[in-house]
Amino acid sequence: MKRWAGMALLLAAMATAGCGGGDRPAPGPDAPRFDPAFLMNNDIWREQRQAELLQPDGWTSLIGLHWLELKAHYIGSGSTSGIRLAMGPPRLGMVVHEAGRYWFMPERGVAVQVDGKPVKGRIPFHADDEPSPTMITFDGGKGTLSLIHRGPRHALRVRHADAPARAHFGHLEYWPADASWRITARFVPHDAGKTLPVVDITGLTTEQANAGAIEFERDGRTWRLEALGEPGRPLFVIFADRTSGHGSYAAGRYIDLDTPDDKSQVVIDFNRAYNPPCAFTPFATCPLPPPENRLDLPVEAGEKTYVKPAQEDAT
């Protein structure tokens, strides 16, 4: 059905491009360009984008972010738990910080698994910046518990397939696809090892690898964005623009880029600018646009602000 829906959108766009009414002015040089292959690829990308958000472990499945402040925390949905989960068993287990490491001990009689194997006793609880992060599942696999490390602090990240943000998800809105916003940019490499300080939504500043900048032309001007990532690898851009808070998400948007080619060129497609996880959940730790990436330019392309449906707001 999604494939047919995508084809229907494509045909409608092509019809709009080729069948102007007698009272409709001829499209100007800045009008959206309706290339069939571009529109189809963009439609596929949008479907994949929404599918990823709605995965059982996608960003819309988050139900909690709990910072660990004590040496031991009892976890569960019951009123006697020190960390109160929005979903799950009344007593799930206990997290202990001991000798610089974290451990998890499940509550007796509660079904908990790691890598598909039942957990019966105390196990090491590895964070997301360690080689093999621990993913604890509960509620028959619907719920997951993981440990994240941000600066000097650790937190429990909790997901559940029945999360309200996922169960009552609305829909993503976009500006009309416009091939003029798919731009071949110049990649300007930085010196090896350069980093860029990036602040996240919790106020934490971290130094991110900053392989280089990209420069592109728009509206008769040259614009520049700093790109995050290692040299010779795909890049990541966090940016804000004049639509931020006025059509697009106020805290900025993200774009993924391929590795620059041997001519130091890379395509930046603003039609594929997307909202950070914080647009959908309060339980994420999203990095924010650095000052260098705040464009005095209205980027009327890509994903618009997500509006939560009434059902989600009521939960």
**CA 281-285-288 angle, 5° bins:** 105
Radius of gyration of the chain (CA): 23
Beta carbons of 201 and 286 less than 8 angstroms apart: yes
- Kindly tell me the burial class for residue 80, based on how many C-beta atoms sit within 10 Å of its own C-beta (0-12, 13-18, 19 or more): exposed
E strand map for the chain: 62-67, 72-76, 83-84, 93-98, 101-106, 113-114, 117-118, 123-124, 135-138, 143-150, 153-160, 182-189, 195-199, 205-209, 212-218, 221-227, 235-239, 253-257, 265-269
- Distance, in Å, from the CA atom of 296 to the CA atom of 268, rounded to the nearest integer, reads 17
Residue 288 pLDDT: 98
pLDDT at 313: 61
Element (H, E) at 4: helix 2-18
Give ranges for CATH 2.60.200.20 in the chain: 59-167
Residues 6+ apart with CB under 8 A from 130: none
Tell me the two tokens of residue 123. Answer: 């196990």
* Alpha helices (runs of H) in 19-92, residue ranges in sequence order: 36-53
Helix, strand or coil, per DSSP, at residue 266: strand
The residues, ordered by sequence, that sit 6+ positions from 12 with a Cβ below 8 Å of its Cβ are: none
* Contacting residues for 284 by C-beta, under 8 A, at least 6 apart: 59, 62, 65, 201, 276, 277, 278
Rounded CA-CA distance 298/270 in Å is 11
**For the stretch 279-303, what's the b/e string if a residue is b when 16 or more beta carbons lie within 10 angstroms of its beta carbon?**
bbbebbbbbbbbeebebeeebbbbb
pLDDT of residue 33: 53
Query: Strand, helix or coil at 7?
Result: helix
| Spans of the chain below 50 pLDDT | 1-28, 31-32
**What global pTM score does this model have?**
0.85
pLDDT at 103: 98
CATH number of the 59-167 domain: 2.60.200.20
